[in-house]
Amino acid sequence: MHKAIYFCTMKCFLRKKIGDRVANGHPWIFGNELGDVDGTAQPGDIVEVYTYNGSFVGKGYINPASQIRIRLLTRQKDDVIDEAFFLRRIREAWEYRQSIGYVENCRLIFGEADQLPALIIDKFNDHFVIQTLALGMDRWKGAIVAALRQIFNTTRIYERNDVPVRTLEGLPQQKGFLCEPFDTNIILKENGLKFHVDIENGQKTGYFLDQQDNRRAIQHIVKDADVLEAFCYTGTFSMHAAHYGAKSVLGLDISENAVSTARRNAELNGFTDRCSFEAVNAFDVLKQWVKDGKRYDVVMLDPPAFTKSRENIQKAITGYKEINLRGMKLVKPGGFLVTASCTNLVPPEMFLEIIGMAAKDARRELRQVTWQTQASDHPILWNVPSTQYLKFLIVQVL
């Protein structure tokens, strides 16, 4: 195999008066943080970064068309960015997942948290789904595939690069096989349950691994309960509720395709007698059911991100407050609300504040049961706040 090596032909110097974010470990360098440059580079090339007075900061890939001008791959001056570098990084990430107990299904690479910014790799047993979300990372796709083949002895590798963020990097949206073709409809095992996963057409990479620990957290509150799950997607929380002894489970989702898969998951796990699903707009239905006086022992809410940009943050706050207000009103006194937010634009303290505002408007008292984040195979770097994005809360609604 041809061994690609991109030598650094450009040195980039940070401006004198910038914050300590980059020095403290954040891998992103924005255009307005850069001062002088020495040498030339093509978009996607590896460049060296120095402080204004010449101290080495790191090596990363550059894209003048991107707001994030440079993403750092290493802080070690001796590191050569080549295929062996990516093999080592991916192997280290796999060893970390194994050490914390994530072996069968896991987020193998979580971008910046694994020192491979803009790279996502999800492992579904012996199937791998990758996303290369920036130009500089996309150029190393061949090295990434080669590393996966070497470490896992697999040819079941699929790219889900059909995401709009790639257009900001001047990249096309695309998806397809990166080795030989295989059946992209697979069955995944999680917490003793089975789930249909559509790698090719499912949301994101086909399945939400980040909630796999949180799905276990509902174990005790759903026993003998009537459960409502809004925004159920393919019914993963619903299946867990039935598995843990719920009396009845109703899942709602606006996607006919998701609801169809949820029904197949209920059949796969033998829960068709207790689980039912409806393809409806949860926002509208919950509002009507509050008026109708419907009540449940447990209401679970896992809505999609209400905003992708800071400009629309108020829209997200309003959306989360409204849906949680409706959820609380549907919970019987003494029952439980399970609620989550998956956008990093709503930080944990803001999310809790939103829930508090909803409780005040609903005139309900809350007692916190569980407060968690994403599963540990989605590691959090303290100096990179965006690596912590998922908020998961269980409260008793009094």
pLDDT in tens, 276-312: 999 999 999 999 999 999 999 999 999 887 766 677 7
Output the pLDDT for position 2.
Answer: 43
| Amino acid (one-letter) located at 288 | Q
Q: How far apart are CA 245 and CA 222, in angstroms?
A: 7
- To which residue do tokens 């954040």 refer? 26
CATH class of this structure's domain 10-74: mainly beta
| 166's tokens | 């790639």
Output the pLDDT for position 307.
Answer: 63
What residues have CB less than 8 Å from 300, skipping those under 6 apart? 218, 227, 228, 229, 230, 232, 237, 238, 241, 337, 338, 339
Query: Residue 244: left (phi > 0), alpha (psi -120 to 50), or beta?
Result: alpha
Output the pLDDT for position 1.
Answer: 42
Instruction: For domain 186-397, give the CATH superfamily.
Output: Vaccinia Virus protein VP39 (3.40.50.150)
Q: Which residues of the chain have pLDDT under 50?
A: 1-2
Output the pLDDT for position 343.
Answer: 84
pLDDT in tens, 11-29: 999 999 887 899 899 999 9
Domain coordinates of the chain in residue numbers? 10-74, 83-182, 186-397
Q: How many CB atoms lie within 10 A of CB 364?
A: 18
Output the pLDDT for position 361.
Answer: 97
Is the CB of residue 175 less than 8 Å from the CB of residue 129?
no
CATH class of this structure's domain 83-182: alpha beta
Q: How far apart are CA 332 and CA 91, in angstroms?
A: 49
